[in-house]
Amino acid sequence: MYYKEAFSKYVDNALISQKDVKKLYALQNEDVLKIVNQFVDLCKPSKVTVISDSKEDIEYVKQKSVSNQEESTLQTEGHTIHYDSYYDQARDKENTKVLIPKGAYRSPWINTMDRDEGLEEILDIMDGCMKGKECLVRFFCLGPLHSKFTIGALQLTDSFYVAHSEDLLYRKGYEEFRELNGSNDFFYFIHSAGELVGNPPVTKNIDKRRIFVDLQEGRVLTVNNQYAGNSLGLKKLALRLAIHKANNEDWLTEHYFILGVRPKGKNRVTYFTGAFPSACGKTSTAMLPGQLIVGDDIAYLRSWKDGFAHAVNIEKGIFGIIKDVNAKNDPVIYEALTSPRELIYSNVLVKDGKPYWIGMGVDHPKDGFNHYGDWIDGMTDKNGNKVTHAHPNARYTINLMDLSNCDPKLEDPDGVPIHGIFYGGRDSDTMPPVVESINWEHGIFLGAIIESETTTATLGAVGVRKASPMANLDFLVVPLGKYLKNHQKFGHQLKHCPQVFSTNYFLKGKDGNYLNGILDKKVWVIWAEGRTKGDYEAINSPIGYLPKYEDLKNLFKLELNQDYSHEDYIEQFTLRISFLLNKLNRMEEMYKAEKEIPKFFWDVLFKQRNDLIDMQKKFGKEEIIPSELSQI
C-alpha cells in the first residue's frame, strides 16, 4: 500500500506498535492512512496509539485519562473530575472560523476566513503541537450503528479526556469504518490541547486557540483548547460539517433534542424535536417528568418511507450544564449524578473527593479545588472578578442510557417518527407561552424568529434580545437563505409534515413577575402533542393557532393537578400588538442583511404585519384578548 513506507518507519522509530499499524491496515482505507500520516508528521507526537472497539482499548483510554492527571477520581465509584483552563470554559466563538475559498459568498452571520490563509495559520500552530505526547487515533459513529443516518468520524487527539468523553457520548465506530469499504465518506477531526501547564494539566497558550472548520475536506482542526465544545470533534464541530452536508443533500442536521411525549390516560408515545437557545428551557423540556428522552442536543432528520421525518440522536450521552441541577427540580439527573457509574464532572468544586456545583441545593464548603485551582470563598481572579465555587458553565458527561427516562429507541437505526417541532425563545413581553404554526412555511418562520433575552448567567447587559434562527446561528456554515430553503424543501418531501410550535416560558406580567410556573411547560407540550393527534381545537390568530381555555384548564388539572384560572389564561394569551410588530421589525432588519432569503419568509412576515395592523385598527387598541380573536 502507498503509505507502507511511512508506517514501517514509524514502527522502526518505536512511534507506533506493529499491532496498532495492523489495526489501521485492517480498515483497508487509504484515506485514513493518509490523514494519520499527514497529521502525525505535522503534530510530531512521541507515541501513536490506535484504539479499536475492544474493551481493553477503551479501558486503556479511561485509565490513562486518570494516570496522566487529565482526570482525577472522586469518592463515588466511576466518577472523575476534569478541569479546563480558567480561560477555556466555553465555546470560543471568535476563534471558531469557517474556511471559505476565495471569491465564495460570505454570510454576515458566519465567522469566516479565507481558506488558504486559515490553513496556513493553523497548520503552522499545529506544527509540533503534540511533542512529547501520545496521539490517540479513534473511530466513532455519528448516529446509531448500521443506520442510513450515520456518518463515520475519525478523531486524532492528544487528550485522553477528550477521547474518554467521546466514549461516553458517541458510539464506537472502528467496525463501522471497516464496513466503509475504503470510502472517504467520513468526517475527521484533529485536536491538540497544545502545550500543557500545571497540575491538573491545562492548555497554556490560550491566545493561540484556534478552531477552523474546513468544509471542503469535511474536517475540523482544533488546537490549544480542552473545553468539550471546542475540543470534541463529534459535538459542535461535527454539527457544523453535517449542516453543510445536509444542506447540500436532502436532509436536516439540527441543534434539536428528541423527546417522546406520553400524555396521561392515552396509551401512546409521540415524538417531538426541539431547538432552544441557551437558557431557554431546552434540557428541562427534553427531561420533562413522565416523558421519554431520546436526545438532548443534536439530531439528524431524514424523510422516511412511512411519509414522516425520522430523527436520530447523533450522540448516546449528555454533556449537560450542571448548574441548578438539584434533587427537587431534576430528580432523574440528580439521582444519576450521585450514584456509582462512569461519569465525568468538569469545572466544579471538589472537597474530600466530593463535587459541589452552583444551584445544587446543598451547602458547599468554603474552600476546596476548582477551575481556578486552590479555592477559598470570596477570592478574586487577576482581573478582580469573584471566582465562584464552580463555573456557571460547569458540566457533567454521562451515558444517556444511565437515565431512567431514556428511550431504548435511542439505538433504533430507523430513528423515531417526528410529529412536531418546538422552537423556544426567551422574551419577557412579546410571544405567548405556546403558538402553533399554520403550515410548514409558517413553522420555519417561527423557528427563524427565535430570540432570547440575555440573563444574568451570561456576561454583558441583561435583557438584550439575541436572535438565533433554530438556535443554530452559532453553528451555521451555509448562508441563512440556503438553510431556510433547505428546511422548506425538506418539508415538501414529507407526506406527514411535523406541526411546529413556538414556546416562551418567560413571559412576564405588568408587575414584572413571570406569568408561568416552572412546570407549566408540561401543559404546553402535552397540548401540542394533542394538536398533532387532532384532540383539540384552536383559535386562529395573525401569529398562529392559540390554545382554548377549556383544554388548558383540563390539562393543568390532569397533568399538574392544578387549577388554571381564566384570568391567567387571558393575561398569558393576549396578543400584545405593538410588541409583536416591533419583533417583526427587528426580524426584517436582520434578514435584510442576508442575500437570497426565500420569498416564503417575507410572505409570512408581511402578512403577519398587515394582519396585526388591521386588527389594531379594527379594535382600536394594542391588546387583543383571545375571545376577541375568535371574532376575526
Distance between CA atoms of 123 and 100, rounded to whole angstroms?
16
DSSP readout, 66-118? HHTTSEEE-SSTTEEEE---TT-SS--STTEEEEE-TTS---TTS-EEEHHHH
CA distances from 485 to 252, 490, 494 (A): 11, 8, 15
Using CB under 6 A, pick the residue from 62, 64, 171, 235 that binds ligand SPV.
235
Using CB under 6 A, pick the residue from 40, 228, 348, 478 that binds ligand SPV.
228
Q: Which is nearer to ligand SPV, 229 or 547 (CB)?
A: 229
Smallest gap from Cβ 395 to ligand SPV, in A, equals: 8
Catalytic: which of 43, 135, 141, 280? 280
Q: Which is nearer to ligand SPV, 229 or 432 (CB)?
A: 229
Smallest gap from Cβ 3 to Mn ion, in A, equals: 37
Smallest gap from Cβ 21 to Mn ion, in A, equals: 37
Neighbouring residues of 427: CB distance < 8 A, sequence distance ≥ 6: 451, 452, 453, 465, 504, 506, 507
CB-closest chain residue to ligand SPV:
229
Q: Which is nearer to ligand SPV, 396 or 506 (CB)?
A: 396
Q: Which is nearer to ligand SPV, 226 or 437 (CB)?
A: 226
Q: Which is nearer to Mn ion, 263 or 320 (CB)?
A: 320
Residues 212 and 220: beta-carbon distance below 8 Å: yes
Which grid coordinates belong to 68? 496522566
3-class DSSP assignment, residue 603 = helix
Looking at residues 510 to 569 of the shown chain, list those that interact with ligand SPV (rule: CB under 6 A). none
Smallest gap from Cβ 313 to ligand SPV, in A, equals: 13
Using CB under 5 A, pick the residue from 166, 297, 330, 436 that binds Mn ion.
297
User: Measured in whole angstroms, how far is the alpha carbon of residue 176 from the centre of its chain?
Assistant: 24
Using CB under 6 A, pick the residue from 23, 91, 115, 371 that binds ligand SPV.
91
Q: Which is nearer to ligand SPV, 143 or 491 (CB)?
A: 143
Looking at residues 253 to 282 of the shown chain, list those that interact with Mn ion (rule: CB under 5 A). none
- For residue 278, which phi and psi values (nearest 5 degrees)? -55, 145
What is the sign of the dihedral through the CA atoms of 60, 61, 67 and 73? negative
Q: With CB cut-offs between 5 and 8 Å by kind, which of Mn ion, ligand SPV, none does residue 229 bind?
A: ligand SPV
Q: Which string of x and - marks every residue 263-302 that binds ligand SPV (by CB under 6 A)? A: ---------------x------------------x-----
Q: With CB cut-offs between 5 and 8 Å by kind, which of Mn ion, ligand SPV, none does residue 278 bind?
A: ligand SPV
Q: With CB cut-offs between 5 and 8 Å by kind, which of ligand SPV, Mn ion, none does residue 112 bind?
A: none
Using CB under 6 A, pick the residue from 208, 236, 419, 531 that binds ligand SPV.
236
Pairing of strands 499-504, 416-425: parallel
Distance between CA atoms of 381 and 390, rounded to whole angstroms?
14
Tell me, by CB under 6 A, how many residues bind ligand SPV: 8
Q: Which is nearer to ligand SPV, 297 or 429 (CB)?
A: 297
Looking at residues 459 to 498 of the shown chain, list those that interact with ligand SPV (rule: CB under 6 A). none
Stretch that binds ligand SPV, among 167-175, 228-236, 352-360, 434-442 (CB under 6 A): 228-236
424 belongs to the binding site for ligand SPV (CB under 6 A): no
Q: Which amino acid is at 346?
A: S
364 belongs to the binding site for ligand SPV (CB under 6 A): no
Q: Which is nearer to ligand SPV, 229 or 295 (CB)?
A: 229
529 belongs to the binding site for Mn ion (CB under 5 A): no
Q: With CB cut-offs between 5 and 8 Å by kind, which of ligand SPV, Mn ion, none does residue 319 bind?
A: ligand SPV
Residue 487: name the closest of 530, 453, 443 by CA: 443
Smallest gap from Cβ 83 to Mn ion, in A, equals: 21
Using CB under 6 A, pick the residue from 229, 443, 447, 479 that binds ligand SPV.
229
Enumerate the β-bridge partners of residue 591.
none
Neighbouring residues of 411: CB distance < 8 A, sequence distance ≥ 6: 144, 145, 316
CB-closest chain residue to Mn ion:
297
Measured N-to-C along each axis, helices 30-43 and 115-126 cross at an angle, to the nearest 10 degrees, of: 60
Using CB under 6 A, pick the residue from 189, 319, 483, 569 that binds ligand SPV.
319
Q: Which is nearer to Mn ion, 158 or 297 (CB)?
A: 297
Stretch that binds ligand SPV, among 163-171, 205-213, 229-237, 449-457 (CB under 6 A): 229-237
For 90, other C-beta atoms within 10 Å of its C-beta total 16
Smallest gap from Cβ 617 to ligand SPV, in A, equals: 42
Long-range CB contacts for residues 26-31, cutoff 8 Å, separation at least 24: 26/178, 27/139, 27/174, 27/177, 27/178, 27/180, 28/178, 28/181, 28/182, 29/177, 29/180, 29/182, 29/183, 29/184, 30/1, 30/2, 30/3, 30/182, 31/182, 31/184, 31/186
Distance between CA atoms of 367 and 373, rounded to whole angstroms?
11
Q: With CB cut-offs between 5 and 8 Å by kind, which of Mn ion, ligand SPV, none does residue 235 bind?
A: ligand SPV
Query: Where do we find the cell 379594527?
Result: 618
Which grid coordinates belong to 376? 477559598
Reported residue count of the chain is 632
Residue 536: name the closest of 499, 580, 575 by CA: 499
Distance between CA atoms of 272 and 270, rounded to whole angstroms?
7
Stretch that binds Mn ion, among 11-19, 291-299, 362-370, 620-628 (CB under 5 A): 291-299
240 belongs to the binding site for ligand SPV (CB under 6 A): no
Query: Where do we find the cell 467496525?
Result: 175
* 280 belongs to the catalytic site: yes
Q: With CB cut-offs between 5 and 8 Å by kind, which of ligand SPV, Mn ion, none does residue 210 bind?
A: none
Distance between CA atoms of 470 and 296, rounded to whole angstroms?
15
Helices (H) and strands (E) in the chain, counts: 19, 35
Catalytic center residues: 280
**Which residues lie near Mn ion (CB under 5 A)?**
297
**Which residues lie near ligand SPV (CB under 6 A)?**
91, 228-229, 235-236, 278, 297, 319
